[in-house]
Structure 1
Amino acid sequence: MDATPINTSDSTVFAGNPLGRAGRAQFGTGSASALGMKWSALHDAAGAVAAIAGVETPPQTPDQRNFPAAVRDCGGWRRELAEQGIADLSAIMEPGLSALLSAIARGANPRAAAHALYRDFVHSRDGLVALIPAGTARRMT
């Protein structure tokens, strides 16, 4: 085994290494953003609520799917409002889903409550998506 130290200041050492200097893959700023992960988790929770309600969930539109990246690129007040809106929506969905699951565990039928929660999610999500200028997210696909 060679014990020669590697000169990390020499950029040619890492030229062919896709993992970069730190041994980690280099990704863009939006690849695993917290906003994107929260957005995805909200949609997962909404899917569970819709299933309890017996509601079919349509596929996400490009604006819905690309919302985190679009709002990140918009920045400023839109991003701040989106982050707060996602936090507020999470604060509604988390205990709501928990209550629905508790009701099911007790043998109750929470279908009507699940339907109301899913409807609230859809309205809130659509309001958040409206923060981005029209067509912004579609251009990202």
Structure 2
Amino acid sequence: MAVKWAAVHEAAKAIGELAGIAPEYRSPEIRNFPAIMRDTGGWRHRLAEQGVDDLAAILEPGLAALLALHGSGTPAGAAALALWQEFQTARAGLLALIPSLGIER
């Protein structure tokens, strides 16, 4: 899952560039998501793997279409922004799988 997670973020970086969005800071939670899920195991890990696969399946053709638009000289910013927002929403759902540490404040 770690390789696919990294590839998803590279695709998202390219989508963000096409949308005119500054590169994002990747929090430790984002960077370490595959390892956290591996260590968590069980249903959360299985769901995370499926979610990352699904996210990659969405981003791959979306990025290809955006690059084709961009290559033809057609503005791709609005479409890229829409795909970027979909990525953000889907990733937030995946990050919600991280279990709480149960630390009370």
TM over 0.5: yes
2:37 aligned with 1:71, yes or no?
yes
Divergent runs of 4+, >6 A: none
TM alignment of 1:1-141, pairs within 5 A: 35-135=1-101
Query: RMSD value over aligned CA atoms?
Result: 1.3
Structure 2 unaligned blocks of 5 or more? none
Structure 2 residue identity aligned to 1:70: I
Structure 2 residue identity aligned to 1:119: Q
**Greater helix fraction, Structure 1 or Structure 2:** 2
Structure 2 residue identity aligned to 1:109: P
CA radius of gyration, larger in: 1
1:10-58 per-residue CA deviation (whole Å, 9 max, x = no partner) reads: xxxxxxxxxxxxxxxxxxxxxxxxx111001100000000000001132
Structure 2 Cα separation of the partners of residues 119 and 80 of structure 1: 24
Q: CA deviation at 1:134?
A: 2.9
1:65-105 per-residue CA deviation (whole Å, 9 max, x = no partner) reads: 11000000111100110011001101100000000000011
Structure 2 residue identity aligned to 1:84: Q
Partner residue in 2 for 1:17: none
**TM-score normalised over the length of structure 2:** 0.93
* Number of residue pairs aligned between Structure 1 and Structure 2: 102
**TM-score normalised over the length of structure 1:** 0.70
